């Protein structure tokens, strides 16, 4: 896979992520301003984000034409990893160190986005390596 292809994937992934996360972050701020706890709001919106971005990232960002089942399982697993990291950050940085949840969650969006791009590129939607018979 060329550097140009990776750049195109990153730009498309970024576009999907920016639009999705802007909407979800506004919803997060609204839900927490109405009294919903930060971790519960993040959890609910995280699940919505996983579902809404799967098809855009599968087809448009990574050009993956494989079956949905395996890719969706891996996609959910990668987001499970991201969720765990995000929740741990909120527990540590907000609950233990008293940092503002709005800032912590905003920074975590960027950190988790980078982690998820790498997981999706190299695991979830990876292009199969050509078999030795295909190379000749």
pLDDT > 90: percent of the chain: 68
* Confidence grade of residue 1 (pLDDT, cut at 50, 70, 90): low
Mean of pLDDT over the chain: 90
Query: Residue 91 and residue 95: Cα distance in Å, rounded?
Result: 5
Assess contact for 41 and 105: CB atoms under 8 A.
Answer: no
Q: Looking at residue 67, what is its pLDDT?
A: 81
Taking only the tens place, the pLDDT of each residue in 15-74 is 998 999 899 999 999 999 999 999 899 889 989 988 889 989 999 999 998 888 999 999
- Per the rule left: phi > 0, alpha: psi between -120 and 50, beta: everything else, 36 is beta
Cβ neighbours of 42 (radius 10 Å): 24
How many residues are listed for the chain in this entry? 136
Which pTM does this prediction carry? Answer: 0.75
Domain boundaries, the chain: 3-127
* Confidence grade of residue 80 (pLDDT, cut at 50, 70, 90): very high
Q: Looking at residue 32, what is its pLDDT?
A: 95
Cβ neighbours of 28 (radius 10 Å): 23
Q: Looking at residue 101, what is its pLDDT?
A: 92
């Amino acid at each position: 896979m060329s550097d140009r292809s990776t750049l195109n994937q990153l730009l498309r992934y970024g576009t999907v992520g920016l639009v999705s996360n802007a909407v979800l972050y506004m919803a997060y701020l609204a839900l927490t301003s109405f009294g919903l706890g930060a971790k519960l709001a993040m959890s609910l919106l995280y699940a919505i984000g996983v579902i809404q971005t799967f098809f855009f990232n599968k087809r448009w960002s990574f050009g993956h034409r494989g079956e949905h089942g395996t890719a969706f399982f891996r996609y959910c697993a990668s987001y499970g990893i991201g969720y765990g990291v995000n929740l741990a950050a909120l527990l540590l940085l907000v609950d233990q160190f008293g940092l503002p949840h709005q800032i912590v969650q905003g920074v975590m969006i960027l950190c988790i986005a980078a982690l998820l791009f790498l997981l999706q590129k190299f695991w979830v939607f990876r292009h199969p390596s050509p078999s030795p018979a295909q190379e000749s």
